[in-house]
A = this chain, B = another copy of it.
Amino acid sequence: MKGLSFDGRLSFREDLEMPEPRAGEALVRVRCAGICRTDLEIVKGYMGFQGIPGHEFVGVVEKAPESSWIGKRITGEINCPCRVCPVCRAGRSNHCPNRTVLGIAGRNGAFAEYLTLPLTNLHLLPDSLEDDQAVFTEPLAACFEILEQIDLHPSMKVAVVGDGRLGLLVVQVLSATGISPTLVGHHREHLDLAARWNVRGVLEEESLLPGHFDVVIDCSGSPSGFSLAEKLVRPRGTLVLKSTFAESVSVDLSLFVVHEITIVGSRCGPFAPALAALETAAVNVGPMISATYPLSQGVEAFQGASERGVLKVLVEMD
Write the residues of chain A forming the contact surface with B, with a CB cutoff of 8 angstroms: 87, 92, 95, 97, 145, 149, 211, 226, 234-236, 241-246, 248-267
Query: Which residue in B252, B259, B266 is a CB contact (below 8 Å) of A257?
Result: B266
The answer on a CB contact under 8 Å between A252 and B248 is yes
Chain B residue numbers with a CB within 8 Å of A253 are 226, 241, 244-245, 248-249, 251, 265
| Shortest distance from the beta carbon of A43 to any chain B beta carbon, whole Å | 16
Are B266 and A95 within 8 A (Cβ)? no
Query: What are some 6 contacts across the A-B interface (CB < 8 A)?
Result: A95-B234, A95-B259, A245-B253, A249-B251, A256-B265, A262-B263
Kindly list 6 other residue pairs between chains A and B, CB separation below 8 angstroms, not including A241-B253, A244-B254, A262-B262: A92-B236, A244-B257, A249-B250, A257-B266, A263-B263, A263-B264
Contact across chains for A258 and B250 when beta carbons are under 8 A apart: no
Which of B211, B258, B262, B263 is the one whose CB lies under 8 Å from A244?
B258
- Chain B residues whose CB sits within 8 angstroms of the CB of A259 once the complex forms: 95, 265
Q: Report how far A211 CA is from B242 CA in the complex, Å.
A: 21
Q: Assess whether A242 is in contact with B262, with CB atoms less than 8 Å apart.
A: no
- The CA of A258 and the CA of B267, in the complex, are separated in Å by 6
Inter-chain contacts of A267 with B (CB < 8 A): 257-258, 260
A101 to nearest B CB, angstroms? 10
The residues of B that contact A211 with a CB separation of less than 8 Å are: 87, 97
Tell whether, in the assembled complex, residue A251 and residue B254 are in contact, meaning their CB atoms are under 8 Å apart.
no
User: In the complex the two chains form, is A260's CB within 8 Å of B87's CB?
Assistant: no
Which chain B residue lies CB-closest to A218? B253
Closest to A236 in B: B92
Does B87 lie within 8 Å of A235, measured CB to CB?
yes
A251 to B257, CA, bound (A): 15
Contacts of A226 in B (CB 8 A): 253
A264 to B260 CA separation, bound complex (whole angstroms): 7
CA distance A241 to B257 in the complex (A): 6
Q: Please, how many angstroms separate the alpha-carbon atoms of A255 and B265 in the complex? A: 8
Rounded to whole Å, the gap between the CB of A155 and the closest CB of chain B is: 12
